[in-house]
Amino acid sequence: MTVPKTLAGQPGPKESLFNILLTFLKVGAFTFGGGYAILPVIRQEVVFTRKWVSEDVFADILIITQGMPGQLALNSAIQIGVRLRGTVGGLVAALGVTAPSVIILLIIAAWLYPLYRDNQYVHAVFYGLRPAVVALIAAAAIKLGREILHGIRGIILCAILLVAAIVSQVHPILLLVAGGVAGLLVCRRECH
């Protein structure tokens, strides 16, 4: 078997598929709070504990992870897996980070949720959780806006797109593409 090359061109360390699976199973099973909470845990595992990639390589992986479609944790796991053992490694890493979610959520959806759906305390919990989740989503929009809407052009573009979304009820995908195209036209130099 040939040793897979890293992006920088050096041969990557050879690692057993079992270890790759185990590492990402652990990340998937024990990390709460979504992508931005999971990334530091992955970094700790692959850069410091396992020493699979250097900090510089991990920084490159993060750039691809955040500019690419898909989940942050999944994207970085696949890239680490590919570096270590090629395509099979990428698939094994994806399986590791995904499997705990599927197993845990299946147990909840198939068994716990029907069992407690009609309990009044469960009703009370979800009564409070719904506005909490809406606050979480609104806070995420504000946080993202603070990070990326630099200058008046970005804010105006965002406002126009918001009005367009409300008025037209167009599918979000179309609006994302429209935003991207507007970015190409408007942001020649000053949007960075």
Partner 1 sequence: MIPVILSLYWSFFKVGLFTIGGGYAMIPLMEAEVIGTHGWLSAAEFLDIIAVAEMTPGPVSINAATFIGYRMAGVAGSLITTLGVISPSLILLLVLSKALFKLIRNPVAGNFLNGLRSALVALILLAAYNLGQAALIDTPTAMIFALLLIASLVKQISPLYFIAAGALLGLILYPY
Q: Closest distance between partner 1 and the C-beta of residue 177, in Å?
A: 8
Closer residue to partner 1 in complex, CB, 50/164: 164
Q: How many CB atoms lie within 10 A of CB 77?
A: 29
Closer residue to partner 1 in complex, CB, 13/35: 35
Q: Closest distance between partner 1 and the C-beta of residue 23, in Å?
A: 14
Q: How far apart are CA 36 and CA 160, in angstroms?
A: 29
Q: Closest distance between partner 1 and the C-beta of residue 70, in Å?
A: 3
Burial class (CB in 10 A: 0-12, 13-18, 19+), 102: exposed
Q: How far apart are CA 34 and CA 175, in angstroms?
A: 25
Closer residue to partner 1 in complex, CB, 3/140: 140
Q: How far apart are CA 75 and CA 57, in angstroms?
A: 14
